[in-house]
Amino acid sequence: MPPARMVVCIERREVVARDHVELYFRHPALTAAVPGQFAHILTEGTLRRPLSFSRLDPASGLAAVLFRVVGRGTAWLAARREGEPLDLLGPLGRGFPPPEPDRPWCLVGGGVGIPPLFAAWARWKASLRAPITVIAGARTREAVVMVEDFRAGGAEPWVTTDDGSLGEAGTVLGPLRRWLASHPQGQVYACGPTPMLAAVAAAVQGHGPCYLGLEQRMGCGVGACLACVVPAADRATWPPWRRVCCDGPVFLAEEVRLE
């Protein structure tokens, strides 16, 4: 489905944790998005903010974004109410590919990197014949989102928090390394802060395929301004960068260099 600019009303608004809000929209172009794609949402003034889809449910007709309030744009969005219109560009970018059905699949989310993985899991879980593992980590318990949604769908996520306030103390790296020991050729989909993704990519190197959903600062969101570039792993190619907004935000780990 080609990206479109649309004005959609907020169908539902939920505060899912402290400083975390989920907004639902009803639009067929949004529910047709590929998990890992994002909406570029106009906030106050002229600047848009990129947010991945947390839910893409053609059956109910609802798509959603779940975000953490970190600054002006997300604070403005969090203050919107049900029924208010939002100006949205999307779906944008290149999402996750469908997982290979016979390869064990591990989804590794950090903080607000968990929502796009929930959308991927919900879209493709029924197509897998191999086991699926979900690892959800965050700094502290309030930032571990969507765990109950996974449970409601039949998964039992491994939860980690840096401060030990929920689940295993430490980062997602501990459970991921244990999973890799028993599933050395499994496929890994990860989304979260850049240092986490760099560590995941390093852990998975030499194992099965690893896809990373990057969350980079953005400008235009459609490939024109180069605000979002990350260095390409292969320095010999031209251009020596990749645009997160349109070449990504999902990349094979070996495509990009995370610094």
Ligand X SMILES: Cc1cc2nc3c(=O)[nH]c(=O)nc-3n(C[C@H](O)[C@H](O)[C@H](O)COP(=O)(O)OP(=O)(O)OC[C@H]3O[C@@H](n4cnc5c(N)ncnc54)[C@H](O)[C@@H]3O)c2cc1C
- The mark string for 36-65 relative to ligand FES (x by CB under 6 A, - otherwise) is ------------------------------
Task: Give the position of tokens 């980062």.
Answer: 171
- CA dist 236 and 8 (Å) reads 43
Which of residues 26 and 94 has its CB atom nearest to ligand X in the complex?
94
Question: CB of 66 within 8 A of CB of 115?
Answer: yes
Which of residues 110 and 221 has its CB atom nearest to ligand FES in the complex?
221
Q: How far is the CB of 182 from ligand X (least distance, A)?
A: 30
Burial letters 6-45, b for 16+ CB under 10 A, else e: bebebbebeebbeebbbbbbebebbbebbbbbbbbbbbee
- The mark string for 189-228 relative to ligand FES (x by CB under 6 A, - otherwise) is -----------------------------xxxx-xxxxxx
Which positions touch ligand X (CB under 6 A)? 38, 49-52, 65-68, 70-74, 112, 115, 215-218, 244, 249
> 3-class DSSP state for residue 54?
strand
| Joined tokens for residue 232 | 């390409």
Residues 229-248 that bind ligand FES (CB under 6 A): 243, 245
Per-residue DSSP letters for 153-172? TT---EEEETTSSSSEES-T
Q: How many residues bind ligand FES (CB under 6 A)?
A: 12
Q: How far is the CB of 114 from ligand X (least distance, A)?
A: 9
Residues lying near ligand FES in the complex (CB under 6 A): 218-221, 223-228, 243, 245
